[in-house]
């Protein structure tokens, strides 16, 4: 099985604007097992700066809009042409109504982008998995950016999300507070096929080593 390790750069000063290429290069230097797929999610305006990455790059957000009179929208076609392989949808910091999530998944996939739809609970995972994204990602918002991982604090959230998404055969990722290989290993034991991380890597003294430590959890 191939596991996904997605690093969301958010809009941290150390990982956006002119710093984007620096951190994606640092993450590209990480040595990860062959069964671990490294992905970096960048602000759409920084996609052009992430082209030096030798791993997959996702947009942090796109809208269900195409060429035309859509001022202020991030269109999937542009994200794809700028090098994005996929996109996050409905991150807790950029939530959308269900009908917009469904339209975004459809449009992004029609454009050739993979989709990872985020949701805060197993109940919400059940809803979004019905839209057939490539992945569903459960992230309890109260644990995001904290010191305790979802796999330690709320393990049932992961196992229940996996069960909820299994009806639609959608694999589940998890995030929120994940910082160590033990956190990752525990998530895998609960049925997750990958993790989402942000501050644990972006704010680490050595992001390359932080990724390598997390990746080790998929082989423990």
> Which residues are annotated as catalytic?
91, 139
Chain-wide mean pLDDT for the chain? 95
What 3-state DSSP class applies to 145?
A: coil
For the chain, the maximum distance between any two Cα atoms, rounded to a whole number of angstroms, is: 51
Question: Residue 109 — pLDDT band, cuts 50, 70, 90?
Answer: very high
Report the chain's terminal Cα–Cα distance, integer Å.
14
* 3-38 burial: b if 16+ Cβ within 10 Å, else e: bbbbbbbbeeeebbeebbbebbebbeebebeeebeb
Q: What is the pLDDT of residues 54-75, one digit of tens each?
A: 999 999 999 999 999 999 999 9
- The pLDDT of residue 152: 86
Check whether 178 has a pLDDT greater than 80: yes
The answer for 114, left when phi > 0, alpha when psi is -120 to 50, beta otherwise, is beta
Residue 154: predicted pLDDT = 87
Q: Are 192 and 162 in contact (CB under 8 A)?
A: yes
pLDDT of 141 higher than 90: no
Does the pLDDT of residue 192 top 80, yes or no?
A: yes
In the block, tokens 């942090």 appear at 60
**Does 139 score more than 90 pLDDT?**
yes
- State residue 147's pLDDT score: 74
Which domains does the chain carry? 3-216 (3.20.20.70)
| 5 and 39 Cβ atoms separated by less than 8 Å | yes
Q: Which helix (H) or strand (E) holds 195?
A: strand 194-197
Given a contact cutoff of 8 angstroms between Cβ atoms, the answer to whether 136 and 161 are in contact is yes
- Rounded-to-integer distance, Cα 148 and Cα 157, Å: 14
What was the pLDDT predicted at 148?
Answer: 80
The pTM score is 0.96
177 pLDDT tier (thresholds 50, 70, 90): confident
What local confidence, expressed as pLDDT, does residue 153 receive? 83
Q: Which residue has the tokens 């998530």?
A: 187
Query: For the residues 138-160, what does the mean pLDDT come to?
Result: 86
Report pLDDT digits (tens) over 77-106. Answer: 999 999 999 999 999 999 999 999 999 999
Among the listed residues 134, 128, 143, the one whose alpha carbon sits nearest the alpha carbon of residue 171: 134
Burial of residue 94, with CB atoms counted within 10 A of its CB: 0-12 exposed, 13-18 middle, 19 or more buried: exposed
Q: Give residue 144's pLDDT.
A: 75
């Amino acid at each position: 099985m191939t596991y996904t390790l997605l690093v969301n750069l958010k809009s941290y000063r150390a990982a956006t604007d002119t710093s984007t290429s620096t951190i994606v290069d640092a993450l590209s230097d990480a040595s990860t097992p062959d069964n671990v797929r490294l992905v970096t999610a960048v602000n759409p305006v920084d996609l052009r700066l992430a082209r030096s990455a030798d791993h997959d790059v996702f947009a942090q957000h796109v809208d269900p809009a195409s060429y035309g009179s859509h001022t202020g929208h991030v269109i999937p076609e542009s994200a794809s042409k700028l090098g994005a392989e996929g996109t996050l949808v409905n991150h807790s910091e950029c939530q959308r109504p269900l009908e917009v999530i469904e339209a975004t998944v459809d449009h992004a996939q029609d454009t050739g982008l993979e989709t990872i739809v985020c949701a805060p609970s197993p109940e919400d995972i059940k809803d979004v998995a019905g839209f057939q994204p490539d992945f569903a990602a459960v992230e309890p918002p109260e644990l995001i950016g904290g010191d305790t991982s979802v796999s330690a604090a709320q393990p049932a959230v992961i196992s229940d999300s996996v069960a909820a998404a299994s009806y639609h055969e959608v694999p589940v990722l998890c995030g929120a507070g994940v910082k160590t290989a033990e956190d990752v290993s525990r998530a895998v034991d609960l049925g997750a096929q990958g993790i989402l991380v942000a501050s644990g890597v972006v704010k680490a003294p050595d992001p390359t080593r932080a990724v390598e430590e997390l990746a080790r959890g998929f082989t423990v």
